[in-house]
Structures are given as C-alpha cells and as structure tokens.
C-alpha cells in the first residue's frame, strides 16, 4: 500500500480510500466488518462516510457511520484510521432546501461524532454547497469547530471551483484555514453534464482541474471507477470468491453488449460512443502493462499532477482486492493524455 500527504495537513492516508456508503445497510454488518478488516490488513487507512449514507433506505438513520463506529470500537484501531465524514446535506425529501447554516453544520458534526463514537473527526466534508450562504459564515463556523477540537481539518464535496476560490481568498485575508481537500464526481470516463440527474453534484470540470493544478489542493474523487463502467463494458469483472481480485472471468461478447446498452440507458451521464473509444485505449494500456481494467482506471486518477486519493466502493473481497492492487500503479503522462483525448 502506498501513502501520501494531504497538503497543508498532518494527514498521510493510504492513496486508496474506502467508501462505506452501503455498509450497515445493503451490506450487512458482518460483511462490512470483514471488508473493513481486509482493507486495514492490506494497509488501508482512509475511510470515507457521511451522516446521510443509507438514509434513502427505510429504517435506521446514519447506518454507515454507526457501523464504522461499532467496528472501530470493537477493533480498538481508531488511531490507525484517517476518518472522514460528511454533513450539512439537504434533507432527502427536500433536496431543494439547503442545510448549511452554522446550526446545521455544528448539529451534524455533533451527531456524526456520536455515531462514530469519536471525539474528533480527522476530515469533515460539507456535503453540498448553498451559494446563498455567506462564505465568511461557513468558514468561521468550521474554524471554530477545529478550535473546539471536534474536527481536525475540513473539506468540501460537490462545490464549484469559484466558491472554493472564494473560500481560499477569505481564509487568506483572515489568517484562517480553508478547505484541505475537495471531493467531486470524477473518473476516467467522459461525462455528459446534461446527463447527470442530480444537479447538486459537482463533477470535475476544466475550472476545477485548473484550480487543483494551481493550488495543489488534494482531490478525493467519488465514483472513481464510474460504477465499474469499463470493467462491465469490457466483459471483465473481479471474482467474488477467493478475495485475491487477480483472477478475472470473461463474459461472452453478446452479454457485454447488453451490459453496454443497459448502462447507457440507466447512466446517460456516460455517453456510449466517446466512452467506448476510451475503453479501447484503457484496454490497450492494460494489455501493454499487464494490468486489469480497474487498475488502469484507478491508475488514471493516481497519476494526476496533483494529490489524488480515489474513493472505491466494494461489495465483496474480489472487488476490494482488485481495487487495492491499483495503489502502486502509475501511468505515464502520455497514457493519461491518451485516455483523456480518446
């Protein structure tokens, strides 16, 4: 496992971050604990969750955070973990109503600390922005929470580049801390912004890339494998048995074609024609370097010119092992460019 520093912090997590959105819900607690144990045994240290995770499923609220809290307590390993969670998300029934007032932020942090059974959260994300909320109020609230010892650092998720710039300028004027990292929708696929159903998401765009290049702000992308888009389209998926993630099974060609058509219908954000061209390049890189498709897809993110820590979501040991095997993959600048230009 490889580790890297998040600039302007004392955090040095594993470069592969494990997303835990389904843990405790569609992934039961026993399986969740096994996946978390395997991740840590492989050298993983970076866990990402959110107060709202699994709340779209009827029943108990904040099951992901509570599952992580129970697991850390049972293993006694809190000191080994770089723990990140998100809050200030709109209520799922009223997504058009922002929740980014000081009382929303502080109330969610208090709740998350209780769920996670920790005194301090290492990296706290604001899950959505509210452009109507003054940046001064937001940063003052977060910095006060750092001073109180409830969080160590803070970041933003699904914010536009211009608002991050605004935060940086205010922090510089007042001598306060700004965002230590940015979490966005980003992967090796070409994304059609008009096809993104949730308009509160902020995919990586040119303005955001320019911001990261100029400031060296850490990027922590979610959907880092595009929901397995390229592995499914290629007809290649990790085995669900041995946990090695190195054995692959090849689906028949007509099945792969049906998968491509189904994904294009259900995920219009990934245009088929352009991404089939990218798939061809990814397959060439994989063959030339004896890598799996997912290793190339994650390697694309890990080979960027600014710190990038992809978040992976894994439902079984094969997926986890295959994702973790990408930690040391480094594509050449020409290979990164070839994917982007396809």
Tokens 């940046």 belong to 135
Predicted local confidence at residue 250, as pLDDT: 46
**What's the pLDDT score for residue 262?**
57
Instruction: Say whether both 171 and 278 belong to one domain.
Output: no
pLDDT at position 252 over 80: no
CATH number at residue 160: 3.20.20.100
> Is residue 277 situated within a structural domain?
yes
State the average pLDDT over residues 218-231: 96
Q: Is residue 216 part of a domain?
A: no
Beta bridge partners of residue 185, listed in sequence order: 203, 222
Query: Among the three residues 127, 159, 183, which one is the final residue of a domain in this structure?
Result: 183
**Are 92 and 158 members of one domain?**
yes
Domain end call among 151, 183, 215? 183
Bridge partner list, 121: 151
Do 177 and 237 belong together in one domain?
A: no
Q: Does residue 10 lie in a domain region?
A: no
User: Do 148 and 242 belong to one domain?
Assistant: no
Residue carrying structure tokens 């520093």 = 5
Same domain, yes or no: 166 and 67:
yes
Does 63 fall in a domain? yes
Verify that 246 and 146 share a domain, yes or no: no
Q: Are residues 21 and 144 in the same domain?
A: yes
Share of the chain above pLDDT 70, in %: 91
Count of C-beta atoms within a 10 Å radius of residue 133: 20
DSSP 252-319: PHHHHHHHHHHHHHH-TTS-HHHHHHHHHHHHHHHHHHT--HHHHHHHHHHTSSS-B--EEE-SSHHH
**pLDDT > 60? residue 251:** no
Q: Hey, CA dihedral for 196, 200, 205, 209, is it positive or negative?
A: negative
Closest Cα partner for 295 from 224, 204, 190?
A: 224
pLDDT at residue 159 above 90? Answer: yes
Question: Are 32 and 107 members of one domain?
Answer: yes
Full-model pTM? 0.92
Residue 206: inside a domain, yes or no?
no
30/160 same-domain check = yes
Please check the confidence at residue 277 and state whether its pLDDT lies above 80: yes
- The encoded tokens of residue 70 equal 């129970």
CB 179 within 8 A of CB 135: no
CA distances from 342 to 231, 232, 256, 330 (A): 17, 19, 21, 19
Q: CA 311, CA 74: separation in Å to the nearest integer?
A: 24
Residue 213 lies in a domain: no
Distance CA 282, CA 288 (A): 10
259 lies in the same domain as 337 = yes
Residues 241 and 158 in one domain: no
Question: Which range marks the domain in which residue 277 is found?
Answer: 229-301+333-341
Question: Residue 49 above 80 pLDDT?
Answer: yes
238 & 160 share domain:
no
Return the pLDDT at 246. 39
Instruction: Write down which residue in 155, 183, 211 finishes a domain.
Output: 183
pLDDT the model gives residue 249:
43
Alpha carbon distances (Å) from 26 to 54, 59, 92, 199, 322 = 8, 12, 18, 25, 21
205: pLDDT strictly greater than 80: yes
Rounded to whole angstroms, how far apart are CA atoms 245 and 32?
Answer: 18
The mean pLDDT value for 220-245 works out to 79
Calculate mean pLDDT across residues 120-127: 98
Total number of domains constituting the chain: 2
């Amino acid at each position: 496992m490889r580790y890297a520093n998040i600039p302007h912090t004392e955090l040095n997590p594993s470069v592969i971050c494990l997303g835990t959105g389904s843990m405790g819900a569609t992934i039961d607690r026993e399986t969740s604990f096994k996946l978390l144990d395997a991740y840590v045994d492989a050298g993983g240290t970076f866990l990402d969750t959110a107060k709202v995770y699994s709340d779209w499923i009827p029943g108990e609220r904040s099951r992901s955070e509570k599952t992580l809290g129970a697991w850390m307590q049972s293993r006694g390993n809190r000191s080994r973990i770089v723990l990140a969670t998100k809050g200030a998300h709109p209520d799922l029934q009223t997504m058009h109503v922002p929740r980014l007032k000081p009382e929303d932020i502080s109330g969610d942090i208090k709740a998350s600390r209780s769920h996670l059974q920790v005194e301090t959260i290492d990296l706290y994300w604001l899950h959505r922005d509210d452009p109507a909320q003054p940046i001064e109020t937001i940063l003052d609230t977060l910095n006060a929470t750092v001073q109180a010892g409830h969080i160590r650092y803070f970041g933003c998720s699904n914010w536009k580049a211009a608002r991050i710039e605004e935060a940086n300028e205010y922090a510089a004027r007042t001598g306060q801390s700004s965002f230590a990292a940015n979490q966005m929708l980003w992967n090796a696929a070409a994304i059609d912004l008009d096809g993104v159903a949730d308009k509160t998401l902020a995919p990586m765009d040119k303005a955001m890339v320019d911001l990261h290049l100029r400031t060296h702000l850490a990027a922590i992308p979610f959907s880092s494998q595009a929901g397995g888009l390229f592995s499914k389209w290629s007809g290649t998926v990790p085995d669900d048995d041995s946990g090695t993630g190195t054995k692959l099974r090849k689906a028949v060609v007509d099945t792969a074609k049906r998968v491509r058509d189904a994904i294009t219908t259900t995920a219009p954000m990934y245009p088929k024609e352009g991404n089939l061209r990218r798939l061809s390049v990814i397959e060439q890189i994989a063959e030339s370097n004896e890598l799996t498709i997912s290793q190339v897809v994650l390697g694309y993110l890990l080979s960027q010119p600014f710190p990038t820590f992809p978040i992976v979501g894994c439902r079984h040991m094969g997926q986890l092992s295959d994702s973790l095997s990408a930690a040391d993959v480094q594509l050449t600048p020409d290979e990164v460019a070839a994917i982007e230009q396809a």
